[in-house]
Amino acid sequence: MTPVGPPGTSAAGPPYGGALVDRYGRVATDLRVSVTDRCNLRCTYCMPAEGLAWLPKDEVLTDDEIVRLVRVGVELLGIREVRFTGGEPLVRPGLTALVAGVAALTPRPGIAVTTNGLTLARRVGALAAAGLDRVNVSLDTLRPDRFRALTRRDRLADVLDGLEAAAASGLTRVKVNAVPMRGVNDDEACDLLSYCLERGYELRFIEQMPLDADRRWSRADMVTAEEVLASLRSRFTLTPLPGRGASPAEHFLVDGGPARVGVIASVTRPFCGDCDRTRLTADGQIRSCLFSRTEDDLRALLRGGARDEDIAAAWRGTMAAKPAGHGVNDPSFVQPSRTMSAIGG
């Protein structure tokens, strides 16, 4: 990445249009919106058993506020993809209305949800009808006892039902996200892939990142993407697919295709140089990165009566200052104070 100077400094006039461009020339077009910090699971790599101190209700953006900020992103800043996440986005009662509100924007962005799937079976029909295009469901194990230990809830069957309902609902593509952990589920990579292949789900393995509330992440316990690929190659033939673009996943054809599997090597092969993301927390803070140690308060602007243009300018400022990389592999790395569920993964 080559620094290209701060926005607005080119002699050629406003070089960046209205877009969210940073010093390194990256353009953010993919918005992650956390709609709640609450969750109905307690995954060990994310939340403590007792949960976290939830945001007070009046600090959480309302449905109208979220849609307004997404509209500013779409109309003034070039956002083209919106993903709702959390916490668990499906615990927010207004999620279907949020999807409908974003689907009504022009140009209409792609709309996706990342969910633990617990209540997906009964919600996915309405979400798809409201305009949801894609869903990612998190599933780390197919064994009920492991699921219970990992998530601290006995709900594996609900997740599997949710996946089945999502596939039946006509969504473009159902993806499954799995986080491999040493001594926990690292012997299940092949079984998870077989399960997904049989049902037409696209599986991606994500390296565990230091964003857990318990701050127990350790490099030694993290199963690397290379280890996952080695394990998969014991049962499948994997052919690398070129052209990753801004996608964090490296994709492979499985047994000649057309089915694919992905690995997201966030720690061992960071893809920060191609990052196209910007993040909005449930309490209206803009972050340029999952690992940001600073964030900017769009909620205060919004509630203070700011114009769309002023909100857009503040958002551009946050993104212009986006660091080159997440720094997880730097000796000076410090885990951000917000954890995964409070940022929006």
Under the rule (CB under 6 A), what is the footprint of ligand SAM?
39, 45-46, 85-86, 88, 114-116, 138, 177, 179, 206, 208-209, 211-212, 340-341, 345
Stretch touching ligand SF4 by CB under 6 A, among 13-21, 34-42, 56-64, 271-279: 34-42
Q: Does 184 bind ligand SF4 (CB under 6 A)?
A: no
How many residues sit in the footprint of ligand SF4 (CB under 6 A)?
13
Name the minimum Å distance from CB 39 to ligand SF4: 3
Stretch touching ligand SF4 by CB under 6 A, among 43-51, 162-170, 189-197, 289-297: 43-51
Residue 204, strand partner residues: 177, 262
Name the minimum Å distance from CB 334 to ligand SF4: 21
218-221 contact pairs (CB < 8 A, 24+): 219/267, 220/182, 221/181, 221/182, 221/183
- Whichever of 41 and 165 has its CB closer to ligand SF4, that residue is 41
- DSSP H/E element including 213: none
Indicate the pairing of strand 110-115 with strand 27-28.
unpaired
Give the integer Cα–Cα distance in Å for 8 and 117.
43
Stretch touching ligand SF4 by CB under 6 A, among 42-50, 208-216, 218-226, 320-328: 42-50
Helix, strand, or coil (residue 132): coil
Between vectors from CA 92 to CA 90 and to CA 93, what angle results, nearest 5°? Answer: 100
Select from 41, 189, 289, 290 the one that contacts ligand SF4 (CB under 6 A). Answer: 41
Token pair for 16: 């960046």
Name the minimum Å distance from CB 76 to ligand SAM: 27
Residue 42 φ then ψ, to 5°: -135, 60
Give the integer Cα–Cα distance in Å for 124 and 302.
31
Select from 39, 82, 128, 225 the one that contacts ligand SF4 (CB under 6 A). Answer: 39
Neighbouring C-beta atoms of residue 18, cutoff 10 Å: 14
Q: Does 262 bind ligand SF4 (CB under 6 A)?
A: no
Q: Does 290 bind ligand SF4 (CB under 6 A)?
A: no
Neighbouring C-beta atoms of residue 258, cutoff 10 Å: 6
Stretch touching ligand SF4 by CB under 6 A, among 39-47, 203-211, 290-298, 303-311: 39-47
Site of tokens 């997740």: 159
Give the integer Cα–Cα distance in Å for 147 and 344.
22
181 binding partner (options ligand SAM, ligand SF4, none; Cβ < 5 to 8 Å by kind): none
Q: Does 130 bind ligand SF4 (CB under 6 A)?
A: no
Per-residue HEC secondary structure of 218-248 comes to CCCCECCHHHHHHHHHCCCCEEECCCCCCCC
109 binding partner (options ligand SF4, ligand SAM, none; Cβ < 5 to 8 Å by kind): none
Site of tokens 């194990």: 141
296 binding partner (options ligand SF4, ligand SAM, none; Cβ < 5 to 8 Å by kind): none
Residues numbered 187-216 forming contacts with ligand SF4, rule: CB under 6 A = none
Select from 20, 27, 47, 211 the one that contacts ligand SF4 (CB under 6 A). Answer: 47
68, 71, 306 from 311: Cα distances, Å = 10, 11, 7
- Whichever of 41 and 280 has its CB closer to ligand SF4, that residue is 41
Helix, strand, or coil (residue 33): strand
Q: Does 32 bind ligand SF4 (CB under 6 A)?
A: no
- Whichever of 77 and 229 has its CB closer to ligand SAM, that residue is 229
Cα 306–chain centre separation: 28
- Residues forming contacts to ligand SF4 in the complex (CB under 6 A) are 39, 41-43, 46-47, 86-88, 116, 138, 340-341
